[in-house]
Amino acid sequence: MTRATRGWAIAGCMAGVLLWGAYMALSQDAPAKKDGSKYGRYVLTTELYHKIAHYTGTSIVARDGKLQGNISMCYHCLAKPITFDKPHSHDFEETLCFIGGNPLDITDFDAVVEYTINGEKHVLTEPGCVTMPPNLVHCPVSVKNVTPEKPIVFLEVSNASSYGTPRDAKQSVVGSR
């Protein structure tokens, strides 16, 4: 598979996840938006924007039922190396995507992402996604070789309306469904 084909495949998968989330949001009742329109409550903008110290620029954080469906999503830009050390798990499925930060070519990716799943180490050197079934211990995650000139996008997608508090590895059930 060529880099361009992989890039289109990743973009297609992400679009599918986001469309599914939008469908789920539209199928849920939501409080009316202040503008009084029938569907304005499904349009979210600045209420999702957050500045988070260890990420670059503005992140989008849609957790705790903000998308009005059984989904949570966060978008972050990484322009400096970062490590998430603490092994943990969740009681829901979680997908982490690492994508080149060039919007004209998401396969333009120089980062090295070292990812641990249940003690097993994996390395991404091209854009990709990692999905963990519920209760599967994951982390540490270490993102290297990123700079302001070559940032990457870090996208978190969970099939849970609320992210909650992750269980640390001592409390987690080791294994998959």
pLDDT of the residue at 36: 82
Residue type, 31: P
> Could you give the maximum distance between any two Cα atoms of the chain, in Å?
51
Each residue of 60-82: pLDDT tens digit? 998 888 888 888 899 999 999 99
Burial of 150 (0-12, 13-18, 19+ CB in 10 A): middle
Q: Which residues of the chain have pLDDT under 70?
A: 1-34, 163-177
Domains of the chain from N-terminus onward: 3-166 (2.60.120.10)
pLDDT of the residue at 32: 53
pLDDT of the residue at 161: 74
pLDDT of the residue at 68: 81
In sequence order, what are the residues at sequence separation of 6 or more whose Cβ sits closer than 8 angstroms to the Cβ of residue 92? Answer: 134, 158, 159, 160
